[in-house]
Structure 1
Amino acid sequence: MKSTTIGLVLSVAMIGSAKAATITNKDEQSQVLIVTESGNKIEMAIEAGATVNFCPAGCFVTMPSGDRETLAGSETIAIVNGAAVIE
């Protein structure tokens, strides 16, 4: 019973500590990012004022301005005037 409880506590701790990058679009129009994660490339639209969690295990991102960033998965980013600001 003791080992089951310890395993459960460790599992919950690992889930609770999972992180992802967070991006907030502070512009008045939606913005599109190109996210490459595990070799898969997708376009991710972020509506004006929206905050999105993504990239939990690291990824490459092309920002609306064309700038490219490598993310570890724990960053907080703001889009301001089409450019990314890593906070």
Structure 2
Amino acid sequence: MKRMIMMLLVSATVSAPAMAASITNKDADTQVLVVVEGGSRVEVALEPGATESICPSGCFVTLPNGDRIALSGGEEVEIEGGAASIK
């Protein structure tokens, strides 16, 4: 019985979803972000009103205004006026 409970706990831990950061573009224009995660660099274009989930294991994001923020996952970020606010 103990072994079965332990296997269920391990299974639940392994299958738990990673927490990703959520970024929403509240501007009227498309915003292009530069995301660096695990040594990989990618540009993410966010249309007006769009929300994107990124950085499940942490990353750095360069915003359109040049600011660079570190995300660990789970944050909610809003872009307005090219600047970010983290909630």
* Bin of the TM-score, shorter chain as denominator length: 0.7 to 0.9
Distance in 1 between residues matched to 2:51 and 2:36, nearest whole Å: 19
Q: Residue 69 of structure 2 aligns to which amino acid in structure 1?
A: E
Q: CA deviation at 1:16?
A: 3.9
Residue 61 of structure 1 is matched in structure 2 by 61
Distance in 2 between residues matched to 1:86 and 1:15, nearest whole Å: 28
Residue 34 of structure 1 is matched in structure 2 by 34
Q: CA deviation at 1:20?
A: 0.2
Distance in 1 between residues matched to 2:15 and 2:77, nearest whole Å: 23
For structure 1, list consecutive stretches of 5 or more residues without a partner in the other structure. none
TM-score relative to the length of structure 1: 0.84
For structure 2, list consecutive stretches of 5 or more residues without a partner in the other structure. none
Distance in 1 between residues matched to 2:27 and 2:71, nearest whole Å: 21
Residue 22 of structure 1 is matched in structure 2 by 22
Q: Give aligned pairs, total.
A: 87
TM-score relative to the length of structure 2: 0.84
Q: Residue 7 of structure 1 aligns to which amino acid in structure 2?
A: M
The CA RMSD over aligned residues, in Å, is: 1.9
